[in-house]
């Protein structure tokens, strides 16, 4: 299966991306896990000791999917159907206009 991991796309671009957009997912690279199945051909970072520990001894949970929300939090899902709903929700949040400031008007006062 394709892992579809954003960090591998960032690594494939060779520079830090503030946010991964659809256009970034098309980069031709063996590290792009959106276009290639399985693991990338090599490491993309140096994992911490705790990351290695939890990879060796994962928690007994049924989650397989996650999607980042605009606020930096993640929605985790056990099924692909729920994951697609989470993606739609995250994209709707990104598309929503920012709330307008309720600052007072700077126009001249009425007389």
- Distance, first Cα to last Cα, the chain: 69
Q: Tens digits of per-residue pLDDT, 2-48?
A: 999 999 999 999 998 888 888 999 999 999 999 999 999 999 988 89
**What was the pLDDT predicted at 111?**
46
Q: Please give the backbone phi and psi of residue 71, each rounded to the nearest 5 degrees, phi first.
A: -85, 5
Please give the sequence-ordered ranges of beta strands (E in DSSP) within 1-111, or none if there are none: 65-68, 74-77
Can you tell me whether residue 7 is helix, strand or coil? helix
Does position 103 have pLDDT exceeding 80, yes or no?
no
**pTM (two decimals):** 0.59
Q: Tens digits of per-residue pLDDT, 82-97?
A: 999 999 998 888 777 6
Alpha helices in 1-111 (DSSP H): 6-13, 49-56, 80-95
Dihedral (CA of 54, 72, 89, 11) sign: negative
∠ at Cα 34 (95, 87), nearest 5°? 30
């Amino acid at each position: 299966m394709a892992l579809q991991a954003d960090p591998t796309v960032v690594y494939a671009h060779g520079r830090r991306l503030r946010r991964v957009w659809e256009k970034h997912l098309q980069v031709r690279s063996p590290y792009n896990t959106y276009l290639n199945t399985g693991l990338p051909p090599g490491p993309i970072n140096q994992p911490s000791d705790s990351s290695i520990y939890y990879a060796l001894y994962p928690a007994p949970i049924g989650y397989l999917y996650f999607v980042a929300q605009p606020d930096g939090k993640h929605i985790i899902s056990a099924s692909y159907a729920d994951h697609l709903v989470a993606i739609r929700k995250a994209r709707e949040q990104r598309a929503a206009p920012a709330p307008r400031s309720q600052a007072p008007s700077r126009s001249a006062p009425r007389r």
